[in-house]
Structures are given as C-alpha cells and as structure tokens.
Chain A
Amino acid sequence: MKLAGSHRLAHPRPVVWDALMDPAVLSRTLPGCERLETTGDGAFAGALTVAIGPVRGQFEGTLEMSDLQPPERYHMRLAGQGASGFLTGEGEVRLEEADGGAATVVHYDLDAQVGGRIAGVGQRLLDSSAKVIARQGLEGLERQLAARGTTSGGSAGAGTGDHEARPATTSDDGSASSSPEGAERLGSGDGEIHAGRSAAESTAPPAPAAPTSTAFAARFAQGLWQELVPPSARPWLLGAVAAAILVVVWLLTR
C-alpha cells in the first residue's frame, strides 16, 4: 500500500524539522500514541493504539529516521506489531519551503504493509484511515508549533494547516493547550516522554497533549465525514438524519 500526501504548515522549515526530530512533540502529535522514547540516534520505540474499522489494538514498535539531510529530507522506517497484526512502512519525508520561507510543505511517501487481522478485516478502511491518521498527525503538529509559537512569543501565528489541497479547516475543538483535558493528560505525566525530552524542551511551557481516544474517535468520524460526504450533500444528509430522528421520536411517543 502506498501512503503518500503533503501538508502545509505555517512555520519555517527549521522549526518544522526540529519538531519532527523531537519525540516529545511526535508523541503528542501522533494520534493514539501512548509512549515514545529515544532508543538511539534517530531511533525511537513506542506504543500506538490504532483503530481501523472493527479492528482496534495496541501496536508496539519502532521508528527510525536515517539519511538525515536537515532541514530538507530524511528516510523514515516504522515497524509495529500487536495482537491484531503488524504494520511496517518505509519511505521518505521531504520538507519544502513555501511563502518565501515562512511556511513549509511536508511531503511524505511511504510504502506500507499491514498484516494479520488488520489487513484481513480492516482492508476496506485502511486507505482512508491511514490518510485520516496522517492528516490528524500533521494537524496536531501544526497545533503544537502554534502553541509553542504563541507561548514563546514567536512570530508564527495560530495558522491552520492545509492538507492535500483540501480547503483549510478551522482549528479543532478542545485541543488547545488551555483545555482541561489537555492539561490533565499532561499533568498525569508520562515518564517516557519526559525522559526523552531535551533540556530546552523541559523548561518550555506545556504543549498540547496527544488526542485522547474519544477525541481521536470524534476526529476520525469528522475525518471520514470530510472524506466521504461531498460538501453539497451534507445539508441533505443532516436533514435526512434529523427527519429520521423525528420520525422515530414520533413513533415512540405515539
């Protein structure tokens, strides 16, 4: 399976590069990421909970970045396995300057293989799920950077990402750093994440946490909605659902 796409971030390339190299940022960025720790130079190990259709499970795995050419490109290799199967991916991530250096377009191009139950049962949702996960991850990165920029008084505003030429979406619900949910998650403290942080980071103000599974599910549904329902059909579909609910209510109260 080919996993490819691009995402625009309203931050300069070196800032994006640093974020992508930082397990603390990545662990909050990757949807479902429960743990990510540095195991070597450009090598990380961690755990990720992934839900593809009816198959949901935790994957333990590794992430290796090699052939680093800062701030332009690197080779990425990931491998994970869990009770519902395994996933591997290998390919290139390329950072392209845009807007005269004020923004960056992240291009990713991975060859992925999944196996076991996740391949057998989740196949039909795999493609769209992978796209949604990648987009959510990069949107999460955008928020991380925005939060960092705001709190550190940097130049980058709370710009929104632009993924695969889709119209820019407004910032997500309670995922800002001030949300109680985010604060609580962060307060609960994840040893591995902190252990993996650089000294500079540990003094930095708290950044938004990775989405909780509820938030992830909500965003997954939203992602599917955007993927699958064309804008022109949305009012109709909502209207139809509302009508159906009214009919059911009427039938129940009759």
Chain B
Amino acid sequence: MSHIGTSTKRSEDPRLLTGRALFVDDVALPGMLHAHFVRSPHAHARIRAIDASAARALPGVAAVWTADDLGDYWQPGPLLVPPPPVPGMTFHQRCQVPLARGKARQVGEPLALVVADSRYLAEDAGERVRVDWEPLPAVVDLEAALAPGAPLVHEDLDSNEAARVHQRKGDYQAARAGAAHVVRRRFRYDRGTAAAIENRGVVAWWDARADRLTVWDTTQAPIPVRNGLAAMLGLSEHQVRLVAPFIGGGFGPKIMMFYPEEVVIPWAAIRLGRPVKWIEDRSENFYATTQERLQIHDAEIALDADGRILGVADRFLHDTGAYDPYGLTVPLNSQCTLIGPYRVPAYDSEFRAVFTNKPIVTPYRGAGRQHGVFVIERLLDLAARELGIDRLEIRRRNFLHPDDFPVEHEIIYQDFTPLTYDSGDYLPLLEQCLERIGWEGFLRDEQPRRRAAGELVGVGCVCYVEGTGIGPFEGARVQVQASGKVSVVTGIGTQGQGHYTVLAQIAADQLGVAVEDVDVVTGDSDQFHWGTGTFASRGAVVAGNAVLAAARAVRDKALALAAEQMGVEAGEVELAGGAARVKADPARAIPLGELAVAANPLRGAVAPGTEPGLEATRYFGPQRGATASGAHACVLHVDPETMQVTVEKYVVVHDCGRLLNPTLVEGQVHGGVAQGIGNAWLEELVFDDAGQLLNASFMDFLLPTALDVPPIEVGHQETPSPLNELGTKGAGEAGAIPVGPLFAQALEDALAPLVPGLEIREIPLKPSRLWELVEAARAGGGAAGGREVAA
C-alpha cells in the first residue's frame, strides 16, 4: 500500500507529547558552566572602554571576555548568501561580529561574554562590566538613512545604502505609455519578530581525550554550521559534531548562521576545557535574534481599459538592519513574488537595501514574499475600484493560464536561476476558495442583512504564488538493519514540521514496511554530514526526493539479493509486509532483516562492483524551485467603536503539488495563518527615533492566541511539479504570506458603509491605527488616509 498521500500520524509526537524529546536546554553535562552576554543598551554608540575587572573578580566567574580578548578568533561572520548575478547590482557586505569592537550598531549587540558556575552568577557579574559609551545619533527611518549627511551605520561606507538591484522584464515605459489607467501608491510593511516558542541556545563541550567538539545548537542548518565552526576553530570537520535536536520552532531566524553566540560559545568551551551552555532568554530574543520586514514600496500598475495588466513598476527600500549577512534573499523574494499568479508583460523593479541601527534582518517565514504579495494584491484591488470592476474579476482576467507553463519571468530569483513558474492552475484555486467561504451568499444575503442590523462585516479573497523547494541539494542514507527495521538519516534539521513522519512515509513505500518500522534521524552531523538546511519551504521537497532515491536504491539491492537467494528473476520479486517475496507465490519470502544480514556477511567475499549491506546514500538537487500557489479568503467583523476585529471564518486553498501527508500540510497552513494574523493585526516592533525597541516583551508585543485565530478550513489542489519525482512543492510558508493584503481588502469591505473610500496601504494594523485611518479617510474623503501619503 502507499503511505504517500495519507494522513499518517506524526511519528515524532509520542516523544514530543510525553516530554521525552531532547531540546538544547535539556543538555546537562558534568562540570557545565553557564554563559551570559553583556549587550549594548544603545542603538548606535562608540565604545570608549570596557572594564571587566570587577566582573572577573566575582567568585564563581570562570572568565569574562571582550572583543579584544578573542585575538585572531575575532572575525566578522561569513556572507551566508552571495549577491545575485544581476548586471549592474551593488552590494556592500558587512557581516555581524562575535563581540562588538569600537562601536555598537544595534541595541542588544553583544559586547562581552561572562562564563560562570551558574547563569545567575554570570548575569550578576555582567552587571559589573563597565562600559564607557559615547552615544551617536541612530539611523532608524529608511528615507532619513539615505539622506545626505545621515549618520553612518558603517563609517567606511559613503552612505547607508547596503545594496541596489534593478531588474526588468519587457519595456515598462512603453507599456505605461499605452495604458488606459495607471494606479500608483505607496505601501509600507513593518517589522515583526518570529517569536518561536523556543529561543536560541547553544551548548558546547570539548572532549579533550577524544579531541572532539560537540555542539548542540538550535540551528536550522546543522551541517553548514558544523563546517563553519570547524574552519573557524582550526579543527577537522570530523572533530566537530553538531547536533540540532528537537527545536521548538525555526521560522527562519534559526537559518541565520554564525550568530555571535554560536561562534563564541564553542571557542569558550575549548578555552575553558569545560562544557558551556547559553540559552537565550525572551528579552534577549527581541534584540539578538534576527527579524523581518520593514519595506517601503512606491509601486504603480499600468492597465488597459479592460483591466488587463500591461506592466508593473516598483521602487522600494528594504531595511536590512545593522548588518547584512544573509545577502539579498529577502528583498529578492519581494521583487520576484510581486508578479504573483498574473500575466505581467512588463516589470521594472529596483530596490535599495538600507543599513539601520536595528536588529539584523534575515528571512522569517515568508522571507520577503509578504511584501510582494501585499503590493500586487493591493494594486489590483485599488485598480479594480478605479476601473469599476469587481475585485475578483480583475484577478480572473489576469491569471496565467494552465497552458502558459513553464512561465519565464526573465528576472533572477533567490536561487540565482531565472524566475520560472514550473506549474500551476490558478482559476480553480480561486473558485474553490470562493465556494468554501460562501462568497456569493455572503455578499448577497448575509452582509446586507447584518449591515442593516448595524454590523460592520466584510469578506476578502487574495491569491499568491511562492517559490519553494530550492536547491542546492540534500542527501539521505537509507539502511535496512538486521532487525528488519529501516533507518533513514539526512542532514536537514527539524523544528516541528513532521519530517520524521513524511520521510518515513516515503521510505516505507519503497521498502514495503510499516511507517512505524522506519526510524528517522535529522540534524546530527555524526549521522550524516552533507546538507544545507531547512529553509525556503524545501525540507520535504529536497530531502524527501533524496530519501526517495536512496530508498529506491536499497529496494533494488534487496530485490536483486532476494532473487538470487530464491533463484528467480529480480522482476519476479516484490517487497511487501517487511519481506521480499515472489509475486506469484507470496509464501516464498525472505524477511528484510535476513536479507540485510545476508548482504553483510562475516565470511566469504562481497562480489566486486557491489557494496555490502542493504544501504544506499543518494542526493537530490532540483534544477530550480517549485512554484506553489494558493488563495486565502476570510470573513471578518469590525466593532465600529473600538475597531476591534474578529475573524469569523478563514479558508485556505493551497496547491503544493502532490500531497505527501494532508494533515501535515494542514498543520503547516494553520500555523502559518496564525502567524500571518499576528503579523497583520497584532504584532509590530516599535522603535523610537533613538533606535530603542519600545515593546520588547510579550506584555506589549502581542502574539495571536486561541481567541484570535479562527478555525481554518483548508482545501487542497494538486498540480504536480515536473521538477522532482515526488511532484511535490513546499508548504511551510504558504499560510503566512497573503494574510496582510487579505486583511486590508476585507477591512475595506467591512468598513465601506462607514468610509467608502478607505484605502489600507500598510501592515501591521491595530485597532488604534485602524481608527486613525478611518478618521483620516472621513476627514479627507478617503484616499488621504495613511501614515504614508500616496506619492
């Protein structure tokens, strides 16, 4: 039977739900010391001197180190993603440093490491580290940052511009010249934080007798971190074991590699000859873990008289924070995702990435895709309004058709290949979504009835595509053991997605065993040491296809061996029920375990050209990313006095190609939507003019709770990807991506009786901000609302 496509129960859950799973903070070693980082309270300030003598003198303190104490080990981190090969682009690499030297460029930047017998002692000692500061004016606002004479985050550069990338498709100016309508607006999408339930953490242990370093780390990229640490510490890669055990949520900030703490803790453990543990606390997480998504877009869309898109132009500023170690992945994603599921003959987009005195920006679930989807969906809504056509009709008129695929967009994507949509079918997605939300009935009956009763209720529906499952590669090793059980190991890390289950399903199908008989290991470099990590909605796509290939190779081996032992042709044998059996005579069978023993003889000779064991290692690297797509719709209610919003109904129809496990996909979508609702309506990191974060706790930074997230109905559509054998596409980020424009559209619909011309051009929103927008629109006749007035 096939396990793929069934909602197999998650095999990791018994361990997780009974508290037996290992997380980094569970690691406790004899003689372990605890680390605390002294961090900058200033967003931008010169460090005149650091005096750690009082801290060092405290009993129980093993060591206090500052940048100067690191010697040659002090190096800026590596550039994790090089700039894209776009002609004419500029990029200034300024990566984070292990401990600040000379000046601090963001609040929370670490200055000193204190290692002591306990975290309490370490923190107390940290209070005794005296820093002589010279505060500098902070760079906070993106436009002010680029103004002449602005203070410089990196003084060796001429300006705060970190990068500039201009990409074009077709001739936008010509398209605009022939347009019947041009709609131009400014859009703003501000910062939030991923707020994974588990903060970051690192435990490092130098075993002097074995000459080996073991690091437990909450990273999403165990293998690259191992390789990097080995190089930095001057060790062989095989002297370093990196374990990324169970992790309480990744969401992208943990794919950022070589965080200062990740680099300094292993060094400290080697120096001290004792294990050292650092666990990030929630206050630190608001500064020390990367964030996302301030961008300001000035975008316009040119349409013909029928509302068909002739072209789109966009100029945007991207806040990269104090450093740019992750290259341009986020703004490139924004640039590429903006095109959406539509025919856009001409596209002209230029962005400038800007250094600011704020925490570093790296991908966070959606990774720039939110902004692109927000801009194009909002432009279409506003254009529909201007042209007097229905908001869904303008989408239907512009959708790409199934026979348009593959669609070449002539611009470079985050995987450095030309952006190409491999497959998709967007109209049925939209229609299924409308059907499930009850679009027509709502607009025909429910909304008029409730409006007559004085209620503000609205409905919205938006569409998106997302590039997923990018390369370069993942690998897997599959082995049948003497017990007949199957072992699958791979180099990706897992943060709760269900990899143990889905990878087991794939192997079980190939080897004719039960899913429970497949043991999966991820994130341990001693088990498998090739891999890039879990990011860009790629785990199941890339590692999944590697497992498929490895399991098939084992299957071929088992079939050949069984055929030889039973004296039949390989084609006459099948694997089922944990055994190899003759198809025509299932009673003639050899259990897989026995075959495994036979393949691994203690005497005799393994034939030349063959390998022992029922084991194989295979790799998979997709030519380029697979294009997933979807439509989200919701019904929401607005309280006219408090502007509080209640989401009453939420529907997602998602196409991630072939479904490997519908329950897992639904879980991913549900979690994504919850994060999207937080992003759209509750969460906003508020910085003052001095670069101080003003809501760095869960008292003030609101996360969605069970009261804010409605039941979510998920529909599936399967348009298999031709780029991999499983035909699958990524699903990890889909839920989070289009919630912003959906909220905006549904809110405008709900508030139409109150303010017919309201335009929402910013995310995140909150009741107070919505009230301001409504008041401004009432005063200024609609379009004038917004902190950013249309350019």
Q: Which of A54, A82, A116, A118 lies at the interface centre, i.e. has the most chain B CB atoms within 10 A of its CB?
A: A116
- Residues 267-305 of B, flagged 1 when their CB comes within 8 A of A and 0 if not, give 000000000000000010011000000000000000000
Shortest distance between the CB of B702 and any CB in chain A (Å): 12
Q: Which residues of A contact B695 (CB under 8 A)?
A: 120, 123
Q: Which residues of A contact B131 (CB under 8 A)?
A: 81
Nearest CB in chain B to that of A83: its residue: B127
Q: Does A42 contact B (CB under 8 A)?
A: no
Q: Which residues of A contact B498 (CB under 8 A)?
A: none
Kindly state the separation between the CA atoms of A250 and B485 in the bound complex, as whole angstroms: 60
Q: Does A5 contact B (CB under 8 A)?
A: no
Given contacts A85-B41, A120-B696, contact A115 B690 (CB under 8 A): yes
Contact check, B41 vs A81: say whether CB atoms are below 8 A apart. yes
Contact check, A119 vs B693: say whether CB atoms are below 8 A apart. yes
Q: Which residues of B contact A119 (CB under 8 A)?
A: 41, 688, 692-694, 696
Question: Quick one: which of A80-118 are within 8 Å of B by CB?
Answer: 81-83, 85-86, 88, 113-118
Shortest distance between the CB of A234 and any CB in chain B (Å): 25
Interface residues on A, range: 20 to 34
Contact check, B126 vs A117: say whether CB atoms are below 8 A apart. no
Kindly state the separation between the CA atoms of A86 and B42 in the bound complex, as whole angstroms: 8
Q: Does B699 contact A (CB under 8 A)?
A: yes
Q: Does B65 contact A (CB under 8 A)?
A: no
Nearest CB in chain B to that of A126: its residue: B694
Contact check, A117 vs B696: say whether CB atoms are below 8 A apart. yes
Q: Does B163 contact A (CB under 8 A)?
A: no
- Residues 66-91 of A, flagged 1 when their CB comes within 8 A of B and 0 if not, give 00000000000000011101101000
Kindly state the separation between the CA atoms of A69 and B133 in the bound complex, as whole angstroms: 31
Contact check, B127 vs A124: say whether CB atoms are below 8 A apart. no
Q: Does B700 contact A (CB under 8 A)?
A: yes
Q: Chain B: interface secondary structure?
A: loop
Q: Does A121 contact B (CB under 8 A)?
A: yes
Which one of A85, A86, A123 contacts B694 once the chains associate, using CB atoms below 8 Å? A123
Q: Which residues of A contact B700 (CB under 8 A)?
A: 123-124
Q: Does A196 contact B (CB under 8 A)?
A: no
Contact check, B127 vs A116: say whether CB atoms are below 8 A apart. no
Q: Which residues of A contact B123 (CB under 8 A)?
A: 83
Contact check, B692 vs A57: say whether CB atoms are below 8 A apart. no
Nearest CB in chain B to that of A113: its residue: B690
Q: What is the count of residue pairs linking A and B with beta-carbon distances less than 8 angstroms?
A: 59
Q: Does B107 contact A (CB under 8 A)?
A: yes
Contact check, B699 vs A115: say whether CB atoms are below 8 A apart. no
Shortest distance between the CB of B695 and any CB in chain A (Å): 6
Q: Which of B40, B41, B690, B700 lies at the interface centre, i.e. has the most chain A CB atoms within 10 A of its CB?
A: B41
Which one of B43, B126, B283 contacts A115 once the chains associate, using CB atoms below 8 Å? B43
Q: Does B697 contact A (CB under 8 A)?
A: yes
- Residues 367-406 of B, flagged 1 when their CB comes within 8 A of A and 0 if not, give 0000000000000000000000000000000000000000
Q: Please, how many residues of chain B have a CB less than 8 angstroms from a CB on the other chain?
A: 25
- Residues 684-726 of B, flagged 1 when their CB comes within 8 A of A and 0 if not, give 0000101011111101100000000000000000000000000
Kindly state the separation between the CA atoms of A115 and B133 in the bound complex, as whole angstroms: 13
Kindly state the separation between the CA atoms of A132 and B763 in the bound complex, as whole angstroms: 36
Kindly state the separation between the CA atoms of A114 and B42 in the bound complex, as whole angstroms: 9
Given contacts A82-B127, A114-B692, contact A120 B42 (CB under 8 A): no
Given contacts A114-B692, A115-B692, A117-B283, contact A124 B699 (CB under 8 A): yes
Contact check, A83 vs B43: say whether CB atoms are below 8 A apart. no
Contact check, B107 vs A115: say whether CB atoms are below 8 A apart. yes
Shortest distance between the CB of A194 and any CB in chain B (Å): 25
Q: Which residues of A contact B693 (CB under 8 A)?
A: 119-120
Given contacts A81-B133, A82-B127, A121-B283, contact A116 B699 (CB under 8 A): no
Shortest distance between the CB of A117 and any CB in chain B (Å): 6
Kindly state the separation between the CA atoms of A121 and B283 in the bound complex, as whole angstroms: 8
Shortest distance between the CB of B62 and any CB in chain A (Å): 19
Nearest CB in chain A to that of B38: its residue: A83
Contact check, B41 vs A121: say whether CB atoms are below 8 A apart. no
Q: Which of A57, A88, A114, A117 lies at the interface centre, i.e. has the most chain B CB atoms within 10 A of its CB?
A: A117
Which one of B43, B107, B133, B697 contacts A121 once the chains associate, using CB atoms below 8 Å? B697
Contact check, A120 vs B286: say whether CB atoms are below 8 A apart. yes
Q: Which residues of A contact B699 (CB under 8 A)?
A: 121, 124
Q: Which residues of B contact A83 (CB under 8 A)?
A: 123, 126-127
Contact check, A115 vs B42: say whether CB atoms are below 8 A apart. yes
Question: Quick one: which of B40-58 are within 8 Å of A by CB?
Answer: 40-43
Nearest CB in chain B to that of A86: its residue: B41
Kindly state the separation between the CA atoms of A81 and B38 in the bound complex, as whole angstroms: 13
Shortest distance between the CB of B420 and any CB in chain A (Å): 44
Question: Quick one: which of B130-154 are within 8 Å of A by CB?
Answer: 131, 133, 135
Contact check, A117 vs B694: say whether CB atoms are below 8 A apart. no
Q: Which residues of A contact B697 (CB under 8 A)?
A: 54, 120-121
Kindly state the separation between the CA atoms of A117 and B694 in the bound complex, as whole angstroms: 9
Shortest distance between the CB of B286 and any CB in chain A (Å): 6
Kindly state the separation between the CA atoms of A123 and B699 in the bound complex, as whole angstroms: 10
Contact check, A115 vs B694: say whether CB atoms are below 8 A apart. no
Contact check, A120 vs B283: say whether CB atoms are below 8 A apart. yes
Nearest CB in chain A to that of B689: its residue: A113
Contact check, A121 vs B690: say whether CB atoms are below 8 A apart. no
Q: Which residues of A contact B43 (CB under 8 A)?
A: 115
Q: Which residues of A contact B40 (CB under 8 A)?
A: 116
Contact check, A57 vs B694: say whether CB atoms are below 8 A apart. no
Kindly state the separation between the CA atoms of A138 and B187 in the bound complex, as whole angstroms: 48
Contact check, B127 vs A121: say whether CB atoms are below 8 A apart. no
Nearest CB in chain A to that of B685: its residue: A120
Nearest CB in chain B to that of A125: its residue: B699
Shortest distance between the CB of A164 and any CB in chain B (Å): 25
Kindly state the separation between the CA atoms of A113 and B692 in the bound complex, as whole angstroms: 9
Q: Which of A88, A115, A124 lies at the interface centre, i.e. has the most chain B CB atoms within 10 A of its CB?
A: A115
Shortest distance between the CB of B701 and any CB in chain A (Å): 9
Q: Which residues of B contact A81 (CB under 8 A)?
A: 41, 131, 133
Kindly state the separation between the CA atoms of A223 and B767 in the bound complex, as whole angstroms: 30
Question: Quick one: which of B664-699 are within 8 Å of A by CB?
Answer: 688, 690, 692-697, 699
Q: Which residues of A contact B39 (CB under 8 A)?
A: 116
Shortest distance between the CB of A110 and any CB in chain B (Å): 15
Shortest distance between the CB of B572 and any CB in chain A (Å): 70
Kindly state the separation between the CA atoms of A82 and B133 in the bound complex, as whole angstroms: 12
Question: Quick one: which of B91-147 are within 8 Å of A by CB?
Answer: 107, 123, 126-127, 131, 133, 135
Q: Which residues of B contact A86 (CB under 8 A)?
A: 41-42, 133
Shortest distance between the CB of B193 and any CB in chain A (Å): 12
Nearest CB in chain A to that of B688: its residue: A119
Nearest CB in chain A to that of B43: its residue: A115
Shortest distance between the CB of B281 and any CB in chain A (Å): 10
Nearest CB in chain B to that of A84: its residue: B41
Kindly state the separation between the CA atoms of A152 and B3 in the bound complex, as whole angstroms: 93
Q: Which residues of A contact B287 (CB under 8 A)?
A: 120
Q: Which residues of A contact B133 (CB under 8 A)?
A: 81, 86
Shortest distance between the CB of B545 and any CB in chain A (Å): 44
Given contacts A82-B127, A83-B126, A85-B41, contact A116 B694 (CB under 8 A): no
Which one of A58, A88, A114, A121 contacts B696 once the chains associate, using CB atoms below 8 Å? A121
Which one of A54, A57, A88, A118 contacts B127 once the chains associate, using CB atoms below 8 Å? A57
Nearest CB in chain B to that of A121: its residue: B697
Q: Which residues of A contact B42 (CB under 8 A)?
A: 86, 115-116
Q: Which residues of B contact A116 (CB under 8 A)?
A: 39-42, 107, 692
Kindly state the separation between the CA atoms of A121 and B700 in the bound complex, as whole angstroms: 8
6 A-B pairs with least C-beta separation: A120-B696, A116-B41, A83-B127, A85-B41, A119-B692, A115-B41
6 of the cross-chain contacts (CB-CB < 8 Å) are A81-B131, A81-B133, A115-B41, A116-B42, A120-B694, A124-B700
A115-B690, A120-B283 given; 8 more Cβ-contact pairs under 8 Å: A81-B41, A85-B41, A116-B42, A119-B693, A119-B696, A120-B693, A121-B699, A123-B700
Taking Cβ atoms with an 8 Å cutoff, the residues of A that contact B are 54, 57-58, 81-83, 85-86, 88, 113-121, 123-124
